[in-house]
Structure 1
Amino acid sequence: MTKLAFLLGILFIGSVHAESICTDRRCLAQMLINKEHFSQPQYENCTLLIKVPFIEYQTLDVDTKNLRLNSRLVASIEWLDPGLAWDTSVYQFDQVILPVNTIWTPELHVTNGITTDMQQGSDDLVVFSNGTVKHSVIINAAVDCEINLFNYPFAEDECPVAIQSFSAGDCGTSLHMGDVKMIDGSHGDWQTDFAILKKQRDDRNYIMVGLSIKYSNPFITLLLPTILIVLADIVSFALPLKGGERNSFKITLVLSFTMFLSILNDELPGDGQCSPIIRTHFCVCLVLLVLSMLVSMLLTRVAKDGLFDLCSFFQSSPQREKENSKEIKDEETRADISVVQLEVSEDTLMLRKMVKFLEALQTNRQTETEYERIADRGDKIFSCFYFIVASSYVTAMTCVMVKYKCKVNHFDFWY
């Protein structure tokens, strides 16, 4: 029994000694984990420098309706934590891998972001023998950006994505930014033209993102239909006034235009500092179409009843009935007189009636011809005026959409 106890004691002492001299990477990692450094490294100036040597920027989506830029950033970060350094004469390794949740890691967020979600790039990080820690983080942010949509669908603008870390007075962290690389620049109707790292002050770093609309889709779905509808309205003056075909066609154009107006309202935001001028364009086009429709209806009435007979439309009903009854009485009196005149033959009376009928018919035709001539002249004058006004307006509005620039302050979130 004494020998057995002696041997067991030797084995126990040997195992403890073996554990104390364990120098592989896992033992090194466990030694660093046991330190439980969950707080920020503290220096005399109370500020830790965080290096961000590389950022990968990607535009996920541009919400045109709510003026928001959804971005994804993958940032490589480095910092120095002397408490995680080790003696390379004992542990002969220059670097080791630790679980990310076992030590302190800095937090980055977007200053002008409505929502910022930072995730760890991986579950592990690398620690070097001098205490340098290297890691990567993924930041998903929705940035509230007052995108200049004045020139929509030819709009282009720049939107800042401001990056910062925790800082409270003289304590906290400071960032030293490196390079930015943009990937996957095309998303929906928007194109990301560039992503450049800039700064306003030493503590204000931001990525300036250049955005532009790929105008082919909104031009085809919104702007081009307005031009074609106005052009069709101009050409519709070739239709005759009589028959109602022109008026029906113009009403169809107005109804079609209101459908595109509804699409525009769903696509673009409300009024803002630089609200889209295409809203004004749609409003003016709608006014032109309605004006053309009303004038066409008015000229149709003129071609039938004459310009001066339009006043009879506003005449009271009792007055019109009184005049009609008076005409009927006059006709009955004339008929009675014709009956009394027995000496006139029946053929002569019939001939006189035929003559009066033909004279009345010829008079009506001459009157209608005169009415049509007046309406046709007014129609030609208005069609020329409408063509000049519509063409000039479309040309001027297109130039304004392409060339005019509206200024927006994108840095009002800094004060």
Structure 2
Amino acid sequence: MAGCESGLVGSFTQLSVNLSCPCDAVKTFPVHNMEKVVFLLSLLTACRGVSRPACTSRRCLAEMLIKKEFVSQPQYDNCTHVINVPYLVYETLSVDTKQLLLNVRLDATLVWRDPDLAWNTTVHPYDQVVLPVHKIWTPEFYVTNALVTNMKHDSRDLLVFSNGTVQHDVSVTAQVSCEVNLFNYPFAADECPVAIESWATGDCGTQLELGEMRSIDGSHGDWQTDSVELLKQGEGRNYIWVGLSIKPSNPFITLLLPSVLILLADVGSFALPLTGGERNCFKVTLVLSFTMFLNILSEQLPGDGHCSPIIRTHFCVCLVLLVLSMLVSMILTRVAHDGSLLMCCCFGGSASKATKKKKVDEENKPDINVVQLNDSEDNQTLRKVGKFLDGFDEKEVESEKRQKIAHMLDRIFFWIYFICTTGYFVGMLYVMARYKCVVNHFDFWL
């Protein structure tokens, strides 16, 4: 190429010498010399074009597209750009029953067209090129009913095809405000929507076209994902209908089973003797133990929403039953001791007063049948011992009568307590397992 240029330069030098002649010589300048000048100029241009070829590598193509600086959304006549999501992966990260939050993760493949990024494959013979994410426009989508949505790019680069099609992978994490039906806790099961939308205002923006979807990792902690279904409500309202259920084994062992065992121990405490104080001490210990149990597990109980967990009412009823059993046991112990009920009513009190009055009358009544002028001290002693033994026998009879009444009342209360406790547990378990509380999950769209 250098020889070509040097030869052309020499020819132009010779022609310039010939063209430096006076004006009279120009009139006689041959026509074929003029044609030679035109030919030499065209040949010089061709040589220079061949010596400096254009850059057609893949990286040069990427730099050419980057220099266009197309960082705005592709604009059309209808001002709406369609974003295809051919592949979507859903994952439940955790379920916060205290705050009623569903933490989810979405991995999506986004595909859209940007005609300004297309190129001629005859000049650049490549069908794909890699561009940095921050150098061109990329769409965004978010979860409508989420408190926090965070979208991240899976890579700093994306793939652009020769026809202007762009493909990119993103990952979205969100905290969805989902009021899960916790009325049946720990047998709770409900559905929760995860609404997916893209940015749009008026007639402008983007529109999502969702394709295939699948779910991974269906079990997290006490909750498990039973079903995941992609549905659509109205125009442009796409949402993932997530079916959730709690695994009742752990909550049943840590919450329900201790309350059942404590009440079972309280029912068994009726086998202890009514007198002596052993039963009362045991019942007081059960009440204190259950109170400490509630204080420890208060932070683990689910939050209070539209459908308040019935297990809170269950613990309240259990505590009332324990306290009621303790109070009745104390009252019956007093009845067995002195026959009084709440220090105002006495069982067998009138009979005791009549016996005492009779004894006083007998002591004050003069003995007119037998007059003993000289009564020995031994006879007086025997008479006093006899009266003492008679009084002791009367106290024993009264005590046995009071204890008999107390044991009869205790037996009646035991069967009432046993029937009520058993019926309560059967009814509570039935309500926990069968009753359904209705929750409006789409109030965020209203």
TM-score tier after normalising by the smaller chain length? 0.7 to 0.9
Q: Deviations over 1:238-297 (max 9, x none)?
A: 111011111111111112222332344312345421111111111111111111111011
Q: Report the more deviating stretch, 68-77 or 359-368.
A: 359-368
Gaps of 5+ in 1: 7-12, 314-329, 335-340
- Per the alignment, residue 259 of structure 1 pairs with 292
- Per the alignment, residue 394 of structure 1 pairs with 425
How far 1:20 moved relative to its partner?
5.7
- Residue 124 of structure 2 is aligned to residue 91 of structure 1: yes
Q: 1:77 pairs with 110, 116, 119, which one? A: 110
Structure 2 counterpart SS, 1:413? helix
- Per the alignment, residue 105 of structure 1 pairs with 138
* Separation in structure 1 between the aligned mates of residue 158 and residue 339 of structure 2, nearest angstrom: 91
Q: 1:366 pairs with 397, 408, 413, which one? A: 397
- Corresponding letter in the other structure for 1:86: W
Write out aligned runs for 1:117-156 (5 A): 117-156=150-189
Write out aligned runs for 1:281-292 (5 A): 281-292=314-325
- Per the alignment, residue 212 of structure 2 pairs with 179
Query: CA 1:235–1:151 in structure 2 vs 1: closer, same or farther (change >3 Å)?
Result: same
Question: For the Cα contact (< 8 Å) 1:125–1:133, is it kept in 2?
Answer: yes
Query: CA 1:389–1:378 in structure 2 vs 1: closer, same or farther (change >3 Å)?
Result: same
Alignment RMSD: 2.5
Q: 1:22 pairs with 44, 52, 55, which one? A: 55
- Corresponding letter in the other structure for 2:125: Q
Structure 2 counterpart SS, 1:266? coil
Q: 1:65 pairs with 85, 95, 98, which one? A: 98
Query: CA 1:17–1:214 in structure 2 vs 1: closer, same or farther (change >3 Å)?
Result: farther
Q: Report the more deviating stretch, 27-36 or 194-203.
A: 194-203
Q: Deviations over 1:59-112 (max 9, x none)?
A: 111100000001111111110000100000011111111111110101111100
- Corresponding letter in the other structure for 2:406: A
Query: CA 1:308–1:157 in structure 2 vs 1: closer, same or farther (change >3 Å)?
Result: closer
Question: For the Cα contact (< 8 Å) 2:145–2:194, is it kept in 1?
Answer: yes
How far 1:345 moved relative to its partner?
2.9
Structure 2 counterpart SS, 1:399? helix
Structure having the higher Rg: 2
- Residue 388 of structure 2 is aligned to residue 357 of structure 1: yes
Q: 1:212 pairs with 231, 240, 245, which one? A: 245
- Corresponding letter in the other structure for 1:79: W
Structure 1 counterpart SS, 2:383? helix
Query: CA 1:20–1:169 in structure 2 vs 1: closer, same or farther (change >3 Å)?
Result: farther
* Separation in structure 2 between the aligned mates of residue 27 and residue 75 of structure 1, nearest angstrom: 30
* Separation in structure 2 between the aligned mates of residue 309 and residue 347 of structure 1, nearest angstrom: 46
Q: Report the more deviating stretch, 169-178 or 353-362.
A: 353-362
Q: How many residues are aligned here?
A: 382
Gaps of 5+ in 2: 7-45, 347-359, 365-371
Q: Report the more deviating stretch, 262-271 or 204-213.
A: 262-271
- Residue 366 of structure 2 is aligned to residue 298 of structure 1: no
* Separation in structure 1 between the aligned mates of residue 179 and residue 104 of structure 2, nearest angstrom: 15
- Corresponding letter in the other structure for 2:141: L
Q: Percent identity?
A: 61
- Per the alignment, residue 26 of structure 2 pairs with none
Task: Name the TM-score, length of structure 2 as normaliser.
Answer: 0.81
* Separation in structure 2 between the aligned mates of residue 308 and residue 214 of structure 1, nearest angstrom: 49
- Corresponding letter in the other structure for 1:351: L
* Separation in structure 2 between the aligned mates of residue 119 and residue 82 of structure 1, nearest angstrom: 25
- Per the alignment, residue 408 of structure 2 pairs with 377
Query: CA 1:41–1:141 in structure 2 vs 1: closer, same or farther (change >3 Å)?
Result: same
